[in-house]
A = this chain, B = another copy of it.
Amino acid sequence: MNGFEDGISRWRRVADEIRSEIVSGTFSSQLPTEAVLAARFGVNRHTVRRALAALGAEGLLRSERGRGTFINPLQPRITYPIGSRARFSENMMRQSLEPSGRLIGAERTAATPAQAIALGLAAGAPLLRLEHLAVAGGMALSRSTSYFSAMRFPDIIGAYAETGSITRALAQSGVEDYRRLETRITAERIATPDADLLQCPADAIVLVSEAIDVDAEGRPIQWIRTRFLADRLELVFSNEAGAATRVRD
């Protein structure tokens, strides 16, 4: 019996709650007994067992008969700096992760009024839309959709497909340097097609970043919307070089 009527089963909510407590470090290395957890969440022990089974399948923990349930060592989130000069490849290599970008698709479109304003173009101007996937350390991290002026960057699709990097593709188009003007961040549930590409659960959560890059003269180059898998990385905005303190209870 669910009772709450929000379409999420009880064992799934218990599993989500336990996972959140695990990643926030509430438990040591061993979980409380199933009976204790059942009492704490106000559910039957069967329901707790179902939740623990789901978390076990995720690789988060393992149960040992007669001993208890133990938390597996969890890999920390990748740190992804957002700032005026953030570069995907550099960021990943600094964390010893092999970066690569893969072109999913591309299309020629016309600028909507909002896109035209963002990119400093006339409404209806020809754009190139790139759908791409970012992978680091063998793990898919994000799905991006970016728009370029088709007039200024006619060869950007091929250049990206070849190099697997926006920075290098822009360099081939004569843009030696660029910086991020603005980043807007929100979060939502992942879209189904993205879940397939990112090889993640259908109910995963993504950090959505909408940003505008400009060249050295301040002219807009690309408008990009990236969906980062929230459980694989965290975005870091730092106001001082070298500041990288980490709190974990």
Contact = CB atoms under 8 A, between A and B. Distances in A.
A13 B203 CA distance: 8
A243 interface: yes
Contact of A237 (B23, B82, B207): B82
Nearest to A220: B245
A188 B230 contact: yes
Interface in A13-60: 13, 15-17, 20, 23, 54
A205 B179 contact: no
Interface residues of A, number: 63
Report how many copies the assembly holds: 2
A222 B130 CA distance: 42
A217 to B, nearest CB: 13
A201 B6 contact: yes
A244 interface: yes
Interface stretch (A96-104, A113-121, A134-142, A155-163): A113-121
A197 interface: no
10 contacts: A6-B201, A7-B11, A83-B239, A115-B249, A118-B245, A118-B246, A181-B238, A181-B239, A182-B243, A185-B207
Interface of A: 4, 6-9, 11-13, 15-17, 20, 23, 54, 77, 79, 82-84, 112, 114-115, 117-118, 179-189, 191-192, 201-203, 205-207, 210, 212, 223, 230-231, 233-240, 243-249
